[in-house]
């Protein structure tokens, strides 16, 4: 069942009683398409430019016009036509472009391109709808649009219906990654269709060919090397039942497996969508006494759904007796905004397994669950070891999958990692099949799964012989995007690593496919471009390899990899050996092999490396400290310690911070670069260190206040280092910012604040929430401005990050910005940057401190009109590779000039 089927057949309140005024509407999509392109663009640059580039959809469209493009002979392109298949698949190519010539000098960058696609959809009213019905009696139909592998789409009135000049399109994100779980977008028609005859609307799609998503055409069987963008579009009418309605989305449920009748996790989830109206889930109950005696299931917290929003209802499971069933019937209690009470019957499907043994385990692994971000039910897969612990627990294997791999439905991934004698294999989802490239929330999920397995194994006596050590170190393994993620996570948390096996990992997005074909580069000030690109610094794996200079690493790569070229792994190794010529790093390059191949991990070399790393005598990372090492950090909140040393704050956020440590006998010499505060744990032992020298300032041993398990921290004030008190609760705060994408790393579900008095604000909030849920399975609560003000006044906003959609009329934004805690402020309803008013057409995105929680943030999308709102929404940091630092101010010219239209950033 695909995502569209999940919405077409809901199980929910009043789902069988459709209103006759909305039932019977039909929609059809024309098979003929108009195509304009190709235009040069680098990966993710479409988030800066207008999705309709080079068109301005607020003006009439000339389908006979030509447009400049450096890809075409003669430097111009014109409209062409294409036709979709019966299943809605549309294949777009430009065979007249000399792609081989472009590749000869530009490589993969010369194959990536942008195009704008256009067709029409026709909405037909029910045949029995009488002509004397008035609009006040009719609710217009809502469309469900499923766009797979397209970037953005919009629906506009047709020009023959006199589309208003200056109308601003509302752009919706497509499912560009083609992930199975992403639901179709619920789209309201831009104007009321006719009640007596068919009405035609214009549909525009931004088609963007990215090598990383669609692959090298030469590797896809296309001998001519012509890139083919293949998108799939379906448009359906969603019948609106009478009254407010909520529906269950069965495929979005979350459940753990049961082993010997006992739950392998404590989190259950029910996928739920509001078809119409505001709903709150405020209770749960079990149907039978037998179940109540065995299972205690409670609602972890109330969940409110905005109209058309999808969320997962979190259920806490506490088991009292063994349970052998395959379904858990559940009744969910709901209350509508009008205080209407409903009970929704559903069930959670579970799998039962016997206790694992040396010879038998479930073929697809065991599915475990936990609560990500304190309240989001999350599943992950594990393979148990053959035998229980002998002595101290051994480290587990943390296995990070590649892009597009859904580990819950694709068992090949967990099966590809050889089962170990005493070590668990832990395979997290990374939130979704693509996630955030194992950065940010994906990384938090990976480490959260390891900690969750530790908690699960402690709950039953029969499992404690297999338990993990608390805060255990891991052997980190990954392939492709997961290989890159293994490098990234090992560099950020080196003290939690015993070894790394990165396979086919790329260095960073800018080197995966070069950015040389950037459209924006022709217009943007080089200094501004450099500031924007600091947002990518935290993802530049090669810059942080100093942190792994003394970590055992076995890199693997197919010698003929046509997806991630083998030189990426070679560059990792050579860079590491520049930091440490004696680095314990080896490269296994398998001649003739492509990107994925049988035996990638299951071979004698890898098995022996894994056995050595996992079965060796456990030592702390600090106990293995070399005499000289360097810690490199870009965002302190995303970085742990190296040999006990940790950077807490940078002097200049956005720039690299480095801490170099040299041990000379009983003296420790520290040199810092762009470091504002750091701490050290364990490494300064009484009797072993006589003095510590930090940037030439000597701290004698008797002044270090060392005792037992001590944490010592140092902060820099006016160029002078001072030692602080050595208690954890008084350590310097971890610097949370560094780039706008940090808003995704929220300790609890996000809150999206909209302005009910603004016509477009709720639509924007729903689109943000849909992107968070679809791309990252991140939960978000949508609240109005008045509710946000109420929570601010009684300090009940919670610990999660907050997204504020502001247009100058909301009280909540005013209350925060009048605190003047950033360079942005308000004066007379206008937004000022360092005291200078921004132009009315500007759209400002900027991070702001959370009003109550020091480690959390607020992201403002501050605009004055719908045009600015659309530009701001495109830059919301939902994907990796979009260079947006802590703040950015855009103008209308970004639609045409990309980053060249940015007014300022920092």
Mean pLDDT along residues 167-175: 94
pLDDT for the residue 559: 97
pLDDT for the residue 17: 40
Structure-model confidence comparison of residues 734 and 491, the more confident one: 491
pLDDT for the residue 136: 53
Mean pLDDT along residues 348-369: 93
- DSSP character at residue 635: -
pLDDT for the residue 736: 65
- pLDDT band for 5, please (50, 70, 90 cuts): very low
- pLDDT band for 691, please (50, 70, 90 cuts): confident
Structure tokens at 898: 């990309």
Report percent pLDDT > 90 for the chain: 80
- Superfamily in which the 740-905 domain is placed by CATH: Chitobiase/beta-hexosaminidase domain 2-like (3.30.379.10)
pLDDT for the residue 719: 86
Q: Is the pLDDT of residue 525 over 60?
A: yes
Q: What is the pLDDT of residues 616-626, one digit of tens each?
A: 876 555 556 89
Mean pLDDT along residues 269-296: 92
Strand order in the sheet with 780-784: 780-784, 750-754, 802-806, 857-863, 843-849, 887-890, 902-905
Q: What is the pLDDT of residues 305-358, one digit of tens each?
A: 999 999 999 999 999 999 999 999 999 999 999 999 999 999 999 999 999 998
Query: Helices 866-875 and 761-776 meet at what angle, rounded to 10?
Result: 10
- pLDDT band for 756, please (50, 70, 90 cuts): very high
- Please report, for residues 186, 450, 828, 870, the alpha-carbon distance to residue 455 in angstroms, rounded to integers and kept in the order given: 39, 9, 53, 44
Structure tokens at 429: 């989802």
Q: Could you tell me the residue ranges of all domains in the chain?
A: 18-238, 241-354, 622-730, 740-905
- pLDDT band for 360, please (50, 70, 90 cuts): confident
Q: Is the pLDDT of residue 729 over 70?
A: no
pLDDT for the residue 684: 72
Range from 74-88, 235-249, 502-516, 849-863 carrying the lowest mean pLDDT: 235-249
- DSSP character at residue 422: S
What share of residues in the chain are helix, strand, coil (percent, to 5)? 25, 35, 45
pLDDT for the residue 101: 96
Q: Is the pLDDT of residue 145 over 60?
A: yes
Structure-model confidence comparison of residues 439 and 158, the more confident one: 439
Rounded mean pLDDT of the chain?
Answer: 92
Handedness of CA 828, 811, 172, 879 (dihedral sign): positive
The CA-CA-CA angle for residues 519, 522, 527, to 5°, reads 110
Quote the CA–CA distance of 670 and 713 in Å, as a whole number: 13
- DSSP character at residue 401: P
pTM, two decimals, is 0.95
Report percent pLDDT > 70 for the chain: 92
Query: Topology of domain 241-354, per CATH?
Result: Immunoglobulin-like (2.60.40)
pLDDT for the residue 18: 42
Contact 847, 804 (CB under 8 A): no
- pLDDT band for 41, please (50, 70, 90 cuts): very high
Mean pLDDT along residues 428-442: 97
- Please report, for residues 212, 218, 242, 378, the alpha-carbon distance to residue 480 in angstroms, rounded to integers and kept in the order given: 11, 19, 49, 23
User: Parallel, antiparallel, or unpaired: how do β-strands 691-694 and 697-700 relate?
Assistant: antiparallel
Burial status of residue 854 (CB atoms within 10 A of its CB: 0-12, 13-18, 19 or more) = exposed
pLDDT for the residue 819: 87
Longest dimension (CA), the chain: 95
Contact 492, 639 (CB under 8 A): yes
Structure tokens at 559: 């010698």
Task: List the one residue out of 415, 403, 174, 408 whose CA is nearest residue 269.
Answer: 408
Contact 234, 4 (CB under 8 A): yes
Structure tokens at 861: 């999308």
Q: Is the pLDDT of residue 142 over 50?
A: yes
Phi, psi of 160 (to 5 degrees): -70, -10
pLDDT for the residue 162: 67
pLDDT for the residue 279: 97
pLDDT for the residue 423: 97
Buried b (16+ CB within 10 A) or exposed e, 335-347: bbeeeeebebebb
Mean pLDDT along residues 636-653: 93
Q: What is the pLDDT of residues 656-667, one digit of tens each?
A: 999 999 998 888
- Please report, for residues 588, 596, 606, 772, the alpha-carbon distance to residue 592 in angstroms, rounded to integers and kept in the order given: 13, 11, 18, 40
Phi, psi of 132 (to 5 degrees): -90, 0
pLDDT for the residue 4: 41
Contact 228, 211 (CB under 8 A): no
Structure-model confidence comparison of residues 684 and 721, the more confident one: 721
pLDDT for the residue 192: 87
Q: Is the pLDDT of residue 130 over 70?
A: no
Neighbours of 504 (CB within 10 A): 29
The CA-CA-CA angle for residues 274, 845, 303, to 5°, reads 25
Range from 100-109, 595-604, 718-727, 819-828 carrying the lowest mean pLDDT: 718-727
Q: Is the pLDDT of residue 844 over 50?
A: yes
* Chain length of the chain: 906
């Amino acid at each position: 069942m695909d995502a569209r089927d999940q919405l077409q057949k809901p199980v929910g309140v009043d789902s069988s009683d459709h209103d006759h005024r909305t039932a019977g509407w039909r929609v059809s999509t024309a098979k003929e398409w108009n195509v304009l392109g190709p235009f040069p663009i680098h990966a993710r640059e479409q988030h800066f430019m207008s999705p309709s580039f080079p068109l301005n959809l607020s003006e009439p469209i000339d389908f006979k016009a030509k447009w400049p493009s450096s890809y075409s002979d003669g430097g111009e392109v014109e409209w062409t036509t294409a036709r979709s298949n019966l299943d809605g698949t549309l294949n777009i190519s430009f065979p007249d472009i000399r792609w081989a010539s472009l590749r000869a000098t530009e490589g993969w960058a010369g194959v990536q391109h942008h195009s704008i696609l256009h067709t029409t959809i026709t909405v037909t009213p029910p045949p029995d709808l009488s002509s004397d019905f008035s609009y006040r009696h009719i609710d217009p139909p809502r469309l469900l649009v499923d766009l797979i592998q397209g970037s953005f789409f919009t629906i506009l009135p047709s020009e023959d219906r006199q589309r208003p000049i200056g109308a601003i399109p509302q752009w919706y994100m497509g499912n560009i990654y083609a992930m199975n779980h992403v639901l179709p977008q619920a789209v309201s028609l831009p104007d009321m269709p006719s009640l007596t005859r068919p009405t035609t609307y214009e549909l525009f799609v931004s088609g963007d060919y990215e090598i990383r998503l669609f692959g090298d055409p030469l590797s896809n069987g296309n001998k001519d090397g012509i890139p083919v963008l293949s998108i799939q579009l379906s448009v359906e009418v969603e019948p609106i039942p009478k009254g407010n309605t909520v529906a269950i989305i069965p495929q979005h449920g979350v459940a753990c497996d049961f082993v010997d009748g006992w739950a392998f996790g404590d989190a259950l989830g029910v996928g739920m969508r509001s078809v119409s109206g505001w709903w709150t889930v405020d209770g749960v109950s079990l149907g039978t006494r037998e179940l109540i005696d065995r299972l205690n299931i409670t609602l972890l917290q109330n969940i409110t759904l905005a109209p058309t929003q999808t969320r997962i209802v979190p259920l806490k499971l506490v088991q009292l007796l063994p349970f052998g069933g395959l379904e858990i019937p559940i009744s969910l209690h709901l209350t509508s905004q009008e205080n209407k009470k409903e009970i929704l019957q559903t069930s959670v499907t579970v799998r039962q397994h016997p206790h694992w043994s040396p010879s038998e385990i479930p073929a697809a692994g065991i599915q475990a669950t936990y609560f990500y971000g304190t309240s989001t039910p999350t599943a992950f897969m594990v393979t148990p070891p053959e035998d229980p612990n002998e002595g101290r627990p051994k480290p587990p294997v943390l296995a990070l999958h590649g892009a597009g791999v859904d580990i819950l439905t694709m068992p090949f991934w967990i099966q590809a990692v050889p089962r170990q004698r005493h070590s668990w294999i832990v395979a997290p989802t990374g939130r979704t099949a693509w996630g955030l490239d194992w950065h940010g929330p994906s990384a938090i999920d990976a480490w959260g799964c390891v900690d969750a397995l530790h908690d699960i194994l402690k709950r039953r006596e029969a499992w404690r012989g297999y338990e993990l050590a608390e805060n255990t170190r891991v052997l980190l393994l990954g392939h492709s995007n997961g290989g890159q993620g293994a490098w990234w996570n090992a560099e950020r948390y080196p003290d939690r690593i015993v070894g790394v096996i990165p396979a086919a990992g790329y260095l960073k997005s800018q080197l995966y496919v070069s950015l040389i074909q950037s459209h924006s580069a022709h217009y943007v000030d080089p200094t501004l471009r450099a500031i924007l690109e600091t947002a990518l610094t935290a993802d530049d794996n090669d810059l942080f390899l100093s942190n792994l200079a003394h970590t055992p690493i076995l890199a693997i790569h197919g010698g003929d990899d046509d997806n991630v070229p083998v030189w990426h792994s070679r560059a990792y190794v050579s860079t590491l050996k520049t930091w440490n010529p004696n680095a314990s790093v080896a490269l296994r390059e398998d001649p003739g092999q492509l990107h994925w191949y049988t035996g990638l991990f299951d071979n004698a070399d890898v098995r022996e490396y894994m056995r050595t790393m996992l079965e060796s005598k456990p030592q702390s990372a600090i106990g293995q400290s070399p005499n000289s090492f360097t810690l490199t950090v870009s965002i302190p909140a995303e970085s742990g310690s190296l040999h006990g040393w940790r950077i807490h704050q940078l002097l200049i956020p956005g720039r690299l911070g480095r801490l170099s440590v040299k041990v000379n006998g009983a003296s420790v010499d520290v040199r810092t670069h762009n470091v504002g505060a750091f701490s050290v744990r364990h490494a300064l032992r009484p009797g072993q260190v006589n003095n510590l020298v930090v940037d030439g300032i000597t701290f004698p041993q008797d002044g270090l206040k060392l005792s037992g398990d001590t944490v010592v921290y140092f902060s820099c004030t006016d160029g002078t280092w001072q030692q602080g008190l050595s208690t954890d609760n008084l350590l310097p705060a971890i610097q949370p910012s560094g780039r706008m994408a940090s808003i995704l790393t929220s300790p609890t579900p996000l809150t999206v604040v909209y302005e009910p008095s603004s016509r477009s604000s709720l639509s924007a909030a729903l689109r943000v929430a849909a992107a968070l849920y679809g791309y990252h399975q991140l939960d978000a609560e949508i609240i109005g401005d008045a509710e946000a003000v109420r929570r601010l006044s009684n300090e009940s906003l919670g610990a999660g990050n907050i997204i504020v959609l502001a247009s100058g009329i909301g009280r909540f934004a005013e209350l925060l910005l009048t605190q003047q805690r950033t360079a942005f402020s308000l004066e007379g309803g206008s937004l000022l940057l360092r005291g200078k008013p921004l132009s009315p057409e500007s759209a400002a995105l900027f991070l702001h401190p959370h009003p109550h929680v020091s480690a959390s943030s607020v992201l403002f999308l501050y605009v004055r009109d719908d045009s600015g709102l659309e530009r701001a929404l495109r830059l919301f940091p939902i994907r990796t590779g979009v260079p947006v630092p802590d703040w950015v101010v855009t103008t209308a010219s970004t639609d045409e000039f990309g980053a060249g239209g940015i007014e300022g950033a920092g």
